[in-house]
């Protein structure tokens, strides 16, 4: 799509997003008010039973999973902003659950990539060290913010996530360029000494793909940043990891996508445990979200073969922008509320 | 005709281990959630948890009000008789998959005589994951 056409989409989506954001607040308040009227004071779960609540989240997460796969992103990156933007649930619980569902999906998906040798085990462990360390630091930082900053901390987390989510949607619009087999050129001495290069069998070409990688030192720094964001905000990290592997290290796209999936499983495991230890995972919320996202991903993958899903990419961009704006608005509300309490 | 390169054994072993452990954990978590929802024993009352969750209550408040006290660490190991305890065990089991997988993968690399750097990196990752899973790296507040 040329730049002019892209701008038309961006403008259209921005207008719809702003209108939806303004209306969205009213809708959420109306739902909350309705729940308060219908349900007795002690049980205000949208005025419905725990079983219905379970299935409501199951269906919502199946839909998130389907749309995410059709748009070519992981469910984990869509789950956290939507849940934080459109439900009143404590952000600590949502972030813990977001990390858990991203991790579980990645762990289940890893097997075929490693069996076929497409995911490069050397790159994986090289990248997993900075990613896991910084993901844990991010998770600890999340706990620190929660424990010491109260509502202002919550406002900062939501605001920060809002900015990141808007940034990710811009990345989807403007930096969609991915290279199937990047031209590596000259390999730097550091990467060469690491010996990260490997080979895999490419079915579509019917031959072995021998590839080189470079810029391992830059990639390590970038993995730190991605890990920190993932651990702090409970986001899946495929959106950032694939470009690092593909455009910075110059690994083939298939290797980049599979390595990213496997590494999320490792790094998010490190980050999810501090949340579990802090009581952030509630089985009643985590289980339907986990099943829903995995089932949704499977359904989405089956649908993807049959339909042309170009428009879904724009739908997910709109959803992400909408969630980002909602998060920023919530952050401002919380900040004002906290300031009012202090004064 | 080119020969297909063999996938590294360390990767295959890791993939198999994490797949099966995560899957078993998920099944246990679903069974636990079913017990929790359909009238089985509950550590924290489900209606209380959900109502406070939807009110946007802080997670520590939720545990204090619904289970009687704030929790920290592997609380579910002492509450396996309850639906939520069993569900949480399943979730924790899924989360332990990569810890076991990376340890086994690291030893496999050593056995396979892979360049020493990679087993070393794998051991570093394994130690980080283990410290995290044991609660040595945790949020105490």
Domain ranges of chain B: 10-134
Q: Alpha-carbon Rg of chain B, whole angstroms?
A: 20
Interface of A with B in 165-204 (CB under 8 A): 194-195, 198-201
Contact present, A267 and A225 (Cβ < 8 Å): no
Tell me how many domains chain A contains: 1
Q: Specify burial of residue A217 (Cβ count, 10 A radius: 0-12, 13-18, 19+).
A: exposed
Q: What is the pLDDT of residues B20-37, one digit of tens each?
A: 999 999 999 999 999 999
Interchain contact, A269 vs B95, CB within 8 Å: yes
Dist. CA B78–CA A219, nearest whole Å? 43
Interchain contact, B5 vs A199, CB within 8 Å: yes
- The secondary structure element, H or E, covering residue A281 is none
Distance from CA of A226 to the nearest CA of B (A): 17
User: A272, A274, A265, A250: which is closest to A128 by C-alpha?
Assistant: A265
Distance from CA of A4 to the nearest CA of B (A): 43
For chain B, say whether A53 makes contact (Cβ under 8 Å): yes
Q: What is the pLDDT of residues B62-117, one digit of tens each?
A: 999 998 888 888 889 998 999 999 999 999 999 999 999 999 999 999 998 878 99
Identify all chain A residues contacting B46, using CB atoms and an 8 Å cutoff. Answer: 50, 284
Question: First CA to last CA across chain A, in angstroms?
Answer: 52
Interchain contact, B36 vs A290, CB within 8 Å: no
* Structural domain range at position A277: 3-342
| Model confidence, pTM | 0.84
Dist. CA A260–CA B94, nearest whole Å? 19
Identify all chain B residues contacting A112, using CB atoms and an 8 Å cutoff. Answer: 15
Interchain contact, B95 vs A136, CB within 8 Å: no
Interchain contact, B125 vs A288, CB within 8 Å: no
Above pLDDT 70, what percent of chain B? 97
Q: Identify which of A89, A107, A291 has the shortest CB distance to residue B54.
A: A89
With a cut of 90, say whether residue B19 has pLDDT above it: yes
Q: What is the ipTM of this complex?
A: 0.93
Average pLDDT over residues B34-58: 90
Give mean pLDDT in consecutive 10-residue pieces for chain A, a chain of 343 residues.
Answer: 55 54 50 47 61 90 86 80 88 91 89 91 94 91 84 86 87 73 87 90 87 93 92 83 89 90 91 90 93 88 70 78 86 84 68
Dist. CA A34–CA A44, nearest whole Å? 10
pLDDT value at residue A66: 87
Q: Identify which of B46, B51, B63 has the shortest CB distance to residue A44.
A: B51
For chain B, say whether A113 makes contact (Cβ under 8 Å): yes
Q: Identify which of B18, B55, B105 has the shortest CB distance to residue A265.
A: B18
With a cut of 80, say whether residue B141 has pLDDT above it: no
pLDDT value at residue A11: 59
Closest CA in chain B for residue A102: B95
Closest CA in chain B for residue A112: B15
């Amino acid at each position: 799509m040329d730049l002019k056409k892209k701008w038309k989409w961006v403008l259209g989506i921005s207008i719809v997003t702003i209108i939806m954001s303004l209306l969205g607040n009213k809708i959420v308040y109306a739902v909350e008010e309705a729940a308060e009227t219908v349900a007795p004071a002690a049980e205000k779960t949208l005025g419905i039973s725990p079983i219905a609540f379970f299935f409501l989240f199951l269906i919502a997460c199946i839909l998130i999973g389907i749309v995410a796969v059709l748009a070519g992103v992981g469910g984990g990156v869509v789950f956290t902003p939507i849940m934080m933007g459109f439900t009143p649930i404590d952000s600590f619980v949502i972030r813990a659950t977001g990390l858990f569902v991203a991790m579980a999906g990645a762990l289940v998906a890893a097997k075929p990539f490693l069996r076929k040798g497409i995911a490069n085990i050397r790159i994986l462990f090289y990248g997993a060290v900075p990613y896991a360390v910084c993901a844990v630091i991010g998770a600890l930082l999340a706990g620190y913010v929660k424990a010491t900053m109260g509502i202002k901390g919550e406002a900062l987390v939501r605001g920060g996530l809002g900015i990141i989510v808007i940034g990710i949607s811009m990345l989807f619009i403007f930096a969609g360029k991915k290279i199937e087999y990047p031209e590596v050129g000259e390999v730097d001495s550091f990467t060469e000494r690491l010996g990260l290069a490997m080979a895999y069998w490419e079915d579509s070409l019917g031959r072995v793909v021998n590839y080189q990688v470079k810029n391992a030192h830059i990639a390590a720094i970038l993995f730190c940043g991605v890990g920190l964001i993932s651990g702090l905000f409970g986001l899946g990290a495929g959106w950032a990891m694939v470009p690092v592997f593909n455009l910075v290290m110059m690994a083939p796209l298939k290797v980049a996508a599979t390595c990213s999936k496997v590494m999320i499983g490792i790094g998010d495991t490190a980050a999810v445990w501090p949340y579990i230890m802090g009581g952030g995972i509630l089985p009643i919320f985590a289980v339907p979200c986990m099943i829903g996202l995995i089932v949704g991903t499977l359904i989405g993958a089956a649908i993807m073969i049959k339909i042309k899903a170009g428009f879904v990419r724009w739908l997910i961009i709109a959803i992400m922008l909408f969630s980002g704006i909602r998060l920023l608005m919530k952050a401002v509300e919380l900040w004002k509320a906290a300031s009012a309490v202090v004064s | 005709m080119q020969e297909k390169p063999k996938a590294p054994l360390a990767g295959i072993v890791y993939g198999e281990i994490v797949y099966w452990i995560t899957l078993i954990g998920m099944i246990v978590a679903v069974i636990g959630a079913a017990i929790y929802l359909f009238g089985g024993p509950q550590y924290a009352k489900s209606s209380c948890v959900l109502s406070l969750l939807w009110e946007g209550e802080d997670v520590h408040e939720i545990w204090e009000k619904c289970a009687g006290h704030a929790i920290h660490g592997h609380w579910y190991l002492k509450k396996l008789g309850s639906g939520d305890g069993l569900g949480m065990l399943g979730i924790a089991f899924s989360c332990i998959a990569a810890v076991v997988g990376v340890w086994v993968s690291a030893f496999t690399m050593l056995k396979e005589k892979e360049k020493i750097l990679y087993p070393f990196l794998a051991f570093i990752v394994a130690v980080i994951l283990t410290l995290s899973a044991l609660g040595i790296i945790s949020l105490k507040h």
